[in-house]
Amino acid sequence: MAIEFTDKIRRLPTYPTAGGYALDGFAMLASNEAPFGPMPGVVEAAAGAVLSANRYPDPSNMSLRRALAARYDFAPGRIAIGSGSCDILLSGAEALLEPGAEFVYAWPSFSVYPHMAAATGANAIVVDLDENHRHDLDAMLAEVTAATRLLIVCNPNNPTGTSLPLAELEAFVAQVPRHVCVLIDEAYCEFSTLDDPDDSIALARRYSNVVLLRTFSKVYGLAGLRVGYALCGDERFRVAVEQVRQPFFCNSVAQAAAEAALLRQDELTRRIEETVANRLTLVEGLEELGLDVADSQANFIWHSLGDGDEDEILEGLRARKILIRSGRALGRAGWARTTVGTASENRRLLDALGELV
């Protein structure tokens, strides 16, 4: 006899891990993390929070929400916090989706979205990206019905790095019926040169059904602490995702570190500029190798692997202590997603690919 699990456990896909964490001497270009350490002041703030680790964290996350409210000029009541923004995705799914409900998202896109449908039993309506690896908003709009509860646009899109200009997004949002929650996953918006990341916030001010999802994991370099946030068009979204979770979903160290990181917008800008410059160099290098490269507005690049065998190339990179993410696991065999690392990591990667493709 074995213990019996729910139906859901059979439905749920397993998150495709990069295979290897913090390996010694490896160039970690598989998970879109920042290559930089925490920003100035963050370690001290986190250490200060550890001193009171005998106390539960503030369950209302009020200090962090107020800091975000000040930074974005947005009502604190409409800012939701999560243990990483994935926590808000999963609790948003629990709050909005159920059997009979429909959920529209694009593919290839973020691997957590299929999980949201499987976890809730909702009907996933998956719309292919267009030939430029971008969301096909017209095709997505055509899938909206009275049963649609949630529609996600990942902008810039993971894994392709492509981004839609704000004007296109706004024209789309204006046409989506108000009963549908439009969640715009902006985990990488700070790296986009198409629009100022502060500008899309107007969508969450104007449309009550819009939720902008952002994170401290990527540009702020706090992936290991797990903290993300959502700017919500309607306070009820925040209340709903708080209802479905345990009370202390974001730990005190993460809250303190995120708040300290927010104070260093100067350093943030410097890091973004460095990453964007390194992205351009990496794109040029990949193109010189004859690979197809999608237009990236993120801190990673979606590119083909030429005529070589995907497994052999990834194995060859691993032997050279470089990890990138296989495209097969992300929805497109023969392609890969490579995170923009430091200038020297990127050089190592280009040299290795030069030998392998």
Ligand X SMILES: *Cc1c(COP(=O)(O)O)cnc(C)c1O
Cβ at position 339, least distance to ligand X in Å: 11
For ligand X, the closer of residues 31 and 147 by Cβ is 31
Q: Count CB atoms within 10 A of the CB of residue 124.
A: 16
For ligand X, the closer of residues 86 and 336 by Cβ is 86
Cβ at position 325, least distance to ligand X in Å: 11
Cβ at position 38, least distance to ligand X in Å: 15
For ligand X, the closer of residues 225 and 356 by Cβ is 225
**188/190 Cα distance (integer angstroms):** 6
Ordered alpha helix ranges (H), the chain: 7-11, 42-50, 62-72, 85-96, 112-120, 137-142, 166-175, 201-206, 235-243, 252-262, 265-288, 310-319, 343-356
Binding site for ligand X (CB under 6 A): 32, 84-86, 110, 154, 158, 185, 187, 215, 217-218, 223, 228
Only one residue has tokens 């790296």, namely: 191
For ligand X, the closer of residues 86 and 211 by Cβ is 86
Cβ at position 85, least distance to ligand X in Å: 4
> 198 Cβ partners below 8 Å, 6+ apart?
72
Q: Count CB atoms within 10 A of the CB of residue 326.
A: 21
- Tokens describing residue 84: 């990483």
For ligand X, the closer of residues 321 and 328 by Cβ is 328
Cβ at position 208, least distance to ligand X in Å: 22
Cβ at position 187, least distance to ligand X in Å: 4
Give me the amino acid identity at 256.
A
Which residue is at the shortest CB distance from ligand X? Answer: 84
> 3 Cβ partners below 8 Å, 6+ apart?
none
Q: Is 213 helix (H, G, I), strand (E, B) or coil?
A: strand
CB 220 within 8 A of CB 34: yes
For ligand X, the closer of residues 29 and 352 by Cβ is 29
Q: Is 121 helix (H, G, I), strand (E, B) or coil?
A: coil
For ligand X, the closer of residues 112 and 201 by Cβ is 112
- φ/ψ of 253, rounded to 5, equals -65, -45
Cβ at position 217, least distance to ligand X in Å: 3
